[in-house]
Structures are given as structure tokens and as C-alpha cells.
Amino acid sequence: MAGEAVTVTPALSDALTILGAAGIVIPAFARLRINPVLGFILVGIIAGPFALGALNTRYPWLHAVSISDPHAVEPFAEFGIIMLLFSIGLELSFRRLKAMRRQIFRIGPAELFGSALLVGGGLMAMGNSFAAALVLGVALAMSSTALVLPIAGTESPVGRAAFAMLLFEDIALVPLLFLFGTLGGGSDLAALWKVAWQGAAVIATMLIAGRYLLPPLFAQAARTKSPELFLSISLLVVIVSALATGAVGLSALMGALLAGVLIAETEYGGEVEAITAPFKGLALGVFLISVGMRLDLRMLLDRWHELLFALLLVLVAKALVTGLLLRASGAGKGIAAETGLLMSSPSETTLILLGAGTAAGVIRPDAATFWQAVTALGLTVTPLLGIVGRALARRVDRAALPTEEKSEGRVLLFGFGRVGRLVATMLQEHGRPYLAVESDIDAVKSARQDGFNVLFGDASRRELVEHLHVADARALVLTMDDPVQVVRLARQLRSAAPDLPIIARARDTAHAAQLYRAGVTDAVPETLEASLQLSEAVLVDVGLAMGPVIASIHEKRAQLRSEIMAAGELAEEPSLGRRRARDLLPTVATTER
């Protein structure tokens, strides 16, 4: 009612803290080029019950910027992980999962149980019982799906390797929970068998529903052209799937992943992914905040040396096992090193298994509290492990790549993104030798795996230009998406090789004029031809005759050439990469003779 004061409830203050964190952390860390994962965890530490939350009774105004009830946030954190697995499923397909079965069911078990064996053996050597070491070893061998996949993705070599192992861990979670219950005398094989057949029935039902019910359901939502209805159905599908698998004893995460794969098999996967992305990001942020809230700062200060030693034990053991397994399976040294470090920290499922071990009486409550702190600390450092692993992989791969290459008689490509890759493909089709130079080590590795001749190097370094003997090349192509660097490099290369044909990618006509002044032979504005072709298609489709349209396009192209000629201070009109028949006549005549 008007004039009535609004009561600030704990739920409202928690929402203010979470939304405020999302509004500040994401843009601030993006501006600093730092993964926002770390920012959310730091917000959880600061606003949690062991920092600002502990001062609420003394300073009541802190209620507005702290989280008073951490347990109230946990359901939203769980929803964040569910949405993450759902979004991962949207990027997959049954064909891709089938292709990954070797990694999932060979490397996955070896990584999980090999890490458990090494960690558990170390704990037994420190005096733990066999049962406690077994439970702790398996729990700590789990890796974080919620953190690893947002950092590595699922398309990169590291992401593919990590995803296969993480998927097996999610599959193994339910049998492990029953195993822990058996150690404490609380579960039996009959209960496990019941979960197995009920889970199989639920998954079969989901597959049938996904094949025959989801397409018409989403089609009806699409016909209404209501984004709200489309979003509601998408969230309904993922929540029902998670509840269905959770109800029979399987992991809710498995249901969310399967729901994503089923929708990805329909033609509405892209729209669902776009419309649910904000929910995934915000809910995952809540999960990361809940991770930070688990860190007891007082315990960290009082037992920092014990916590640090325990965490190092887990990180080193898991990194070694994962890295060696990937090397044995044929992965490169850099991929093995980066994946091993990224997968070395414990997981959110570690907390579930620790709780199960405590309930079964296998782990003492004080030991469970200690290892929960180790797990929270490990989750906190996971983004840092990703940064260190990437840097290590770059160094390892840089040392492993060959650098002795000659450019004599070949076309040199500086830059190997989408444009450079297409140029290389066309050179291969016409049997022309080439050598590409790229400064992104991941792009170099990917290109080499695809069969392209790519060398790691920084084209802006004068030493590399001298090493390649650029003057002996047949031609040189600059495809980098950095206008300033391309102009600077074109000027440097022209001074080193006055007679070398240099073809450069230009952003627009003004950039093309700069490149001509820098000495390139041809500058191709990437926006010019696309704009002219788009204009031609529009004019024809609205009913104009083809002849006048083509004539006007030629006139506009000639006008732009004249403008570039004047701005670039050229003696003749530039071709802009387009060769006309009359330009080729002398070459053709010479060839025929």
C-alpha cells in the first residue's frame, strides 16, 4: 500500500548481493580480461558467513551487502550446475557422444580410479584406515564440471579430453554413493539393482519423448512467436528431466545433460541455447558464490599449513595421473599438461561424496570438515590452475614445434585465422606450396592436426622475417585482423623485399588506402565486396532489372577504386583483389606462346 515501508527480508538482501555481484563482477573482470569465475568466488568469500556475514549482528546495515543464510542459496547453486550441464548437452549430439565412447569409458575410469589409488595410498601412509582412505581418495579424485568446462569449453582439445573424463565421473557418482553406503552397512546390491533398472526405464522414456514429443512441442511454441512461452517450455524440459533422473536415484546432472542432447537433435537447439544463456550464467554465478562462502577464513589462518599440504597432495597426484594417461593415449605434451592441471582440483561432487562417507560412519565429522575446506580451497584456485596450465602448454608446445622452415618458392601467409585458413585451402587445391605463420599456439596445433603447413611465430618480430628469407618467397599474404599491425608489417616487409608481391586484407576502403601507401601490391577490403554483393542481391530481389543493377554496382566499385587511388597516392587504379579479363590478357598470351 502507498506510504507503507518496504521490509528488507533476508531473501531480498541475498538477491541484492547476488545481482549486484553479477552486475559488477562480470563487466569489471571482462575489462581486466580475467575469468569472472574467480570474481564470483571472491564475492562469496567476502559476503559469506565467515567475513561480512559474521559482522551482521554488530553492524546491521551489512545485511544489505552480505548473505545471511548460506543454506538458502544452495538450491539456486544446484540449479546453476543443472543449467550448465543442460547447456553442455545443447552443444553435443548422440553421434559425437558415440565417437567419444573410447575416451569416456577407457580414459575416464583410468583417470578416476588411478587418481583415487594414488591419493588414497598417500592417505593410508599417513595413518588413515583403508575404508576412510578409499572414500577420501575417490571423493577427492572427482574434478569440477562446473568450473573446468566453462574454462576449457568442449570444442578445444583440452575441453574434449576433460569433458570425456568428467562425463564418466558423473555416470559413476550413483554407484559410488551406493558403494560408500555398503561400507557403512547402509546399502545393498538389491537397492543398486533397483536404481539401475528404474534409471534405464527413465532414460528410455526420455529418449522416446525427445524423439516424438519435443519437436511438435517446440514447433507449437515457435508458432506463437512468444519468447516467454519458448523459455518456459525450455526450462520445463530441463527441470522435469533433472527431477526424473534424480527421483530414481540417478544424478540430476545426468538428466539435465540428456535433456540438452535431446533438444540439440531438434532444429530448435540454437534458439533454446540463446534464450536460456542468461539463466545459466546467473545461476552458475550463484554456485560460484556458494563455493566462496564455504571457505572458513579462521580455519585457513589457523591450519593453513595443513590445508596447503593436503591440497598440494591432491593437485600433484591428480595432475600426474591425468597427464600421463593422456600422453599414453596419444595426446600432445601441451594438451596433457594443461588438462592435468585443470582437472587436478576437487569437485562440487566431492562434497556430496564426503557427506555420504560421513553419514555412513566411514569418515569422522572433523575429518569431513577439514576435507570440505580443502575442496572449497581447491575449487577457488581452479581458474588459476587453468591460467598456469595454459601458460605451461604454450611453453611446452613452443619448444616442441619445428622452427626450421624455408620460404623459397612458397607463398607466405602471415596470420592463420578463418581468412588465412581459406586462402591456404585454395592454394592446396591448386597445388601451390605455402607456409603459414601464426602466433596463437592453439591455432597452430589445431591447423597442424588438420594437415595445414603452419609455423609458430610472431610476424611482427624482425628476427622471424629475416629467418624466413621473405625476399625468396613467391608472394606474401597478410590476413591478420589488426589494421595497425598489418600496415606496420606491410611497410617493414616492403623495405625488406622491394619486388615481393604483397597481398593484404583490409578492413575498409580507408584502411586499403593506408596499405597501398605502405607498399602492398593488392589490398582487399573485406567489407567492400560483401556490401556490393549484398546491394546487388537486394536490388534484384525487389524487382529491378539485372542489367542496370550490375552496371550500377560496377560504377560504385569504380568510384571506390578512384577514391582509394587518390587517398593512396597511386599512379593507377587499384584492382582491390579483383582481376578483370583485360588485366589477364598479357599473361594469357605469354602462356599460350
Residue 340 in domain: yes
Selection from 279, 311, 316, 276 nearest residue 295 by Cα: 311
**Strand ranges inside 262-410, DSSP E:** none
| Span 27-48, pLDDT tens digits | 777 676 666 777 787 888 888 8
**For the chain, percent helix, then strand, then coil, each to nearest 5?**
75, 5, 25
Report whether 214 contacts 43 (CB < 8 A).
Answer: no
Residue 275 in domain: yes
Within a 10 A sphere around the Cβ of 407, how many other Cβ atoms? 22
Considering the domain architecture, whether residues 478 and 501 belong to the same structural domain is answered as yes
Question: What is the pLDDT averaged over residues 69-97?
Answer: 78
DSSP code string of 41-91: HHHHHHHSTTTGGGGTTT-GGGGGGS-S-HHHHHHHHHHHHHHHHHHHHHT
Residue 527 in domain: no
Residue 141 in domain: yes
Considering the domain architecture, whether residues 333 and 268 belong to the same structural domain is answered as yes
Handedness of CA 333, 335, 337, 340 (dihedral sign): negative
Residue 237 in domain: yes
Q: What is the pTM of this model?
A: 0.64
Q: Is 90 exceeded by the pLDDT of residue 50?
A: no
Of the residues 396, 424, 452, which one is the last residue of a structural domain?
396
Report whether 77 contacts 18 (CB < 8 A).
Answer: no
Selection from 378, 239, 232 nearest residue 317 by Cα: 378
Q: What is the pLDDT of residue 165?
A: 93
Of the residues 396, 418, 443, which one is the last residue of a structural domain?
396
Report whether 151 contacts 164 (CB < 8 A).
Answer: no
Considering the domain architecture, whether residues 301 and 419 belong to the same structural domain is answered as no
| Span 124-141, pLDDT tens digits | 998 888 989 999 999 999
| Span 416-457, pLDDT tens digits | 888 889 899 888 888 888 989 887 777 787 888 788 888 877
Least confident piece of the model among 187-191, 274-278, 381-385? 187-191
Of the residues 345, 361, 396, which one is the last residue of a structural domain?
396
User: At 565, is the secondary structure helix, strand, or coil?
Assistant: helix
Q: Please state, for a pLDDT cut of 70, what percent of the chain lies above it.
A: 88
CA atoms within 13 A on the CB side of 467: 14
Task: Using only the alpha carbons of the chain, give its radius of gyration.
Answer: 30
Considering the domain architecture, whether residues 415 and 389 belong to the same structural domain is answered as no
Considering the domain architecture, whether residues 306 and 159 belong to the same structural domain is answered as yes
Rounded Cα gap, residues 21 and 47, in angstroms? 10
Residue 256 in domain: yes
Rounded Cα gap, residues 63 and 119, in angstroms? 41
Provide the CATH number for the domain around residue 134.
1.20.1530.20
Considering the domain architecture, whether residues 413 and 365 belong to the same structural domain is answered as no
Q: What are phi and psi of 435, to 5 degrees?
A: -145, 125
Query: Rounded mean pLDDT of the chain?
Result: 81
Considering the domain architecture, whether residues 377 and 422 belong to the same structural domain is answered as no
Residue 185's pLDDT band (boundaries 50, 70, 90)?
Answer: low
Mode of pairing for the β-strands spanning 475-478 and 522-525? unpaired
Query: Which cell is 516 given?
Result: 597501398
Provide the CA 238 distance to its chain's centre, in angstroms: 22
Residue 584's pLDDT band (boundaries 50, 70, 90)?
Answer: very low
Q: Is 90 exceeded by the pLDDT of residue 310?
A: yes
Question: What is the pLDDT averaged over residues 81-98?
Answer: 79
| Span 210-266, pLDDT tens digits | 888 988 888 888 888 788 888 888 889 999 999 998 888 777 878 888 898 888 888
Considering the domain architecture, whether residues 390 and 451 belong to the same structural domain is answered as no
The total domain count for the chain is 2
Rounded Cα gap, residues 579 and 286, in angstroms? 57
Cell 608489417 identifies what position?
Answer: 489
Considering the domain architecture, whether residues 307 and 349 belong to the same structural domain is answered as yes
Q: What are phi and psi of 298, to 5 degrees?
A: -65, -40
Q: Is 60 exceeded by the pLDDT of residue 95?
A: yes
| Span 545-559, pLDDT tens digits | 888 888 888 888 778
Rounded Cα gap, residues 294 and 197, in angstroms? 36
Provide the CATH number for the domain around residue 463.
3.40.50.720
Q: Output the CA angle 326-328-331, nearest 5 degrees.
A: 45
Residue 577 in domain: no
* Structural domain containing residue 460: 407-506
Considering the domain architecture, whether residues 189 and 263 belong to the same structural domain is answered as yes
Q: What b-and-e string marks burial along 123-146, b requiring 16 or more CB atoms within 10 Å of the CB?
A: bbeeebeebbbbbbbbbbbbbbbb
Query: Which cell is 427 given?
Result: 592454394
Considering the domain architecture, whether residues 143 and 254 belong to the same structural domain is answered as yes
Considering the domain architecture, whether residues 154 and 199 belong to the same structural domain is answered as yes
Residue 366 in domain: yes
Q: Is 80 exceeded by the pLDDT of residue 90?
A: yes
Q: Is 50 exceeded by the pLDDT of residue 58?
A: yes
